[in-house]
Amino acid sequence: MGEIATCSNSRSSELSPEEERVLIRDIAMTAETNSSEGDSFYLITQRWWQSWIEYVNQEQQNGINDGSSSLEHSDPVCSSKRPASIDNSDLIYDGTSEDSNISIEIQDSLLEGRDYVLLPQEVWSQLHSWYGGGPTLARKVISSGLSQTELAVEVYPLRLQLLVTPKDDRWTIRISKKETIGELHRKACEIFDLSLEQVCIWDYYGHRKHALMNDMDRTLDDANIQMDQDILVEVLNNVNGTALSGYKSSIQDNGSSKKEASSILLEPSKSSFSIAGGLSASTGGSKSCGSELSQGQNPITLGRELDNTYGSSGVTTRGSSGGLIGLLNLGNTCFMNSAIQCLVHTPEFAKYFREDYHQEINWQNPLGMVGELALAFGELLRKLWAPGRTSIAPRPFKAKLARFAPQFSGYNQHDSQELLAFLLDGLHEDLNRVKHKPYIKSRDADGRPDEEVADEYWANHIARNDSIIVDVCQGQYKSTLVCPVCNKISVTFDPFMYLSLPLQSTTTRSITVTVFSCDGSALPFACNLNVPKQGRCRDLIQALSNSCSLKNNEELKLAEVRNHTFQQFLEDPLISLSTIKDDDHLVAYKIPKSGKKTLLLRLIHRWQEPLTISTQNGSGCYPNWTPFVSVVACDELTRGDIQTVVQRMLSPLLKSEIRAKSGDIIDSLTPSNTCHDSKSDEKCCDPLTDSVNKNNNSSKATESLKLPLQLVDENNECVDLTVGEEKAIRVSSSSTSILVYLDWSQELLKMYDTHFLESLPEVCKYGPVNKKARTEPLSLYTCLEAFLREEPLVPEDMWLCPKCKERRQASKKLDLWRLPEVLVIHLKRFSYSRSMKHKLETFVNFPIHDFDLTKYVANKNNTQRQLYELYALTNHYGGMGSGHYTAYIKLLDENRWYNFDDNHISPINEEEVRSPAAYVLFYRRLKCADAASNGQPDAAYSNGSSHK
């Protein structure tokens, strides 16, 4: 393969990057326009594809005007290298053979756009002819969607594991869901050398016969065959068409010939899987193979003795009683299954949808889904409560969900709470009893009693929103806003469907900033600070100034660094710290104060590679490491001045042996000790003037340590600063900064210790949860108090003060006022950053019985105790990429808890319910007489007594 790649590269070298780009673009447009069912698409690793995109677009990148002082554009980069051979090895499992495509198995958790892209056959063929490499990963285009008119690429065909009993021989195959039952029948017979007349196929879910698959022209998709589904292929007696009588004896003899009774079992794999890209392909053509049973034989009775042989332990969902029915995982749909199980086991919903709810469907509501979501949910709930049913594949419901909420389409993992929020809101609008919503203008409280205002708000809400969802799940809280300017107090009473409680019990946030000294007085260091969560940039600057002992003649320049260049400078002191994400990289530069007009010098490091065959179109220069910032005087600025400033910034990085050889020179570039005496800060000379004086007095130093600097002038041209040190640099009067590149060579690297510049810590680095955090649970009451406490609004939620008539960032406090029959509590385990979610593994200790909210209800007219009992919850295990959802449900009729893990259901003890992975909690209101412990706190709730 290496020789082929080399030959292909030599032929491709005749084309420029622009010619390659245009040719591939034209081929791709033609291929995608003419795509049809049965066409082949090819997977190619995103890493290689991105490198090729950068290579063929380098002329456009180099043409961007980045030499201006504005930070809105990225800094210019040098030409990208030509990619090496295509290497798809990161898409397949280690050790996978490349001798045959049949044996190549791609990894289960790949995502389109993150791990791979799909290319039409013509595009792949052209790229492969140029670059070679592999392995080749072809997938077929199939029809999909409700009408089967949409085209999709089947990236993950069905994976089926064949198990032959009694020999326990196994064979795993891949087959498209668009193949027929007859084709599966034929493949099984071919693998194990059986005749078609000997075999019949059963849906063998849970090792129990479910349905005979005798319609050979029906597709596996139509037969509702799922990934890793169990299938039993039963071998019949050649004489009378019954199961071979020798089956049991062959088990006792521990072996039999291929003509004796045997069965083929497709057993689910233990590994998880993910269907990426949403579209899929298959291997092999579609054939229809028939298989006839002997006349007079009832196929339902065939092999009945096998039912007892493979009995399953625990609770089975095949033929189970109402409420104990699982949902098949259609491909990363555990988030949906867990949420649905909690809703269908809410007693009020179970009763409502099992009765005639159709008369309440609002067919004309423009905010609803014309009743289709309610119908799909109601039909699914009835199936889950029907006695004697098997596990259900919620395909129709998921299809409706994808239609009205495209964010949940495809087969990627999603957030269970986000789905719950959509379902509750969507079901409410579909079942809203209000056909024509009146317009109602809310009145201000104007000193009226809270009870009167709250009832008015609730009446206005009910006049527009009246449904089973409102009856069961909606409550009301009191929202108090205080204007920071006029102290105007505004009170509103707003409805809520669920409570999202924060898990952090503190009001501070940890932020890491790397500090650089531009005067060369110290090495860079990381500084960890605690700042207010809702604070502003000035709070961070103040904390940083105190931590790094900022002198009176110094100031801090705070910047966000991304991809080794400056993303933005945080100069506005009122910027909210909430805009700084956990995965950002912040750098603070200590620069001198000066009364003179100055320019900001932005120094970008570049790695300079030697010219090779693969970098024929450029020198291989790329931004690298952490950029520097300093200031220079505008008046009479020369090339030598910039050399001196840059040398001073880099002086702490000089290696000890270099420093020893050039001691006098280094001393002339390093600030004197008197300038660092805190008592003489006020008397220090102007740092900028001192910089110029040092330049005049150390010409020998600048010649010995001259650096390869390139200045990007106002015409976007590079100026070599290694020559003509006395030459003045012309800068426009409107310019506020200059851009300089330092091209590092191998010789220069030998002089400096650059590991201080190689990586920057994130603002907040999430690591594994330590044991101490796990042994100190966070009380659910503490989370509730953190949610209700007074906090300032973020800038995005600024409030229009009715007195000032201007938008203000007011402080806000919440109080519970009207509690619902079912209280849904979302534990906010995920914090969002710019590129990912972070999960908080904090253990929340929540009560199962007698969750007492009496003290948190501001409505004192209600004298009854507000007690709730847990009846359902969803759990989230693992991280975002490989997480899994389950549900714990209490069947009230049985007073027993069960674990619903997709289609697998098992009983659990109440001690197991208080899960460390709890994500969404469902509580039902208790009547006083129903309190499980006569109003006493949950005995097992160790942290609940503190709230009294």
Query: How far, in whole angstroms, is CA 538 from its chain's centroid?
Result: 31
Helix (H, G, I), strand (E, B) or coil at 651: helix
User: Is omega for the bond preceding 166 within 30 degrees of 0, making it cis?
Assistant: yes
- Residues 6 or more apart whose CB falls under 8 angstroms from that of 523 comprise 652, 653, 756
Query: How many alpha carbons fall within 13 Å on the CB side of residue 291?
Result: 29
Q: How many Å from the N-terminal Cα to the C-terminal Cα in the chain? A: 73
What single DSSP character describes residue 370? Answer: T
* Catalytic-labelled residue, pool 78, 200, 334, 537: 334
Phi-psi region of 321 (alpha: psi -120 to 50; beta: other; left: phi over 0): beta
What whole-number distance in Å separates Cα of residue 855 and Cα of residue 865? 9
Long-range contacts of range 48-52, CB-CB < 8 Å, 24 or more positions apart?
Answer: 48/83, 48/86, 48/87, 48/88, 49/117, 51/80, 51/81, 51/83, 52/83, 52/127
What single DSSP character describes residue 38? Answer: T
In this structure, the dihedral spanned by the alpha carbons of residues 96, 100, 105 and 111, taken in order and rounded to 10 degrees, is: 110
3-class secondary structure per residue, 792-848 = ECCHHHCEECCCCCCEECCEEEEEEEECCCEEEEEEECEEECCCCEEECCCCEECCC
658 class by beta-carbon count within 10 Å (0-12 exposed, 13-18 middle, 19+ buried)? middle
Give which of 185, 137, 140 is closest to 160, Cα–Cα. Answer: 185
What whole-number distance in Å separates Cα of residue 647 and Cα of residue 702? 8
Give which of 360, 353, 359 is closest to 376, Cα–Cα. Answer: 353
> Residue 30: what are its φ and ψ, rounded to 5°?
-65, -45
Q: Please, are residues 740 and 710 in contact by the beta-carbon 8 Å criterion?
A: yes
Question: How many residues comprise the chain?
Answer: 948
Residue with tokens 């790949």: 110
Structure tokens given for 214: 């005798």
Rg (CA), the chain: 35
Residue 537 among the catalytic residues: no
Largest CA distance in the chain: 111
Structure tokens given for 54: 């950068």
Give Cα separations from 444 to 293, 414, 447, 745, 942 (angstroms). 79, 40, 9, 70, 43
* Catalytic-labelled residue, pool 605, 826, 849, 884: 884
Q: Please, are residues 782 and 882 in contact by the beta-carbon 8 Å criterion?
A: no
Give, for 884, the enclosing helix (H) or strand (E).
Answer: strand 884-891
Residue 185 among the catalytic residues: no
- Provide the angle, in degrees to the nearest 10, between the axes of the packed helices 372-385 and 395-404: 160
Query: How far, in whole angstroms, is CA 941 from its chain's centroid?
Result: 33
Catalytic machinery residues: 334, 884
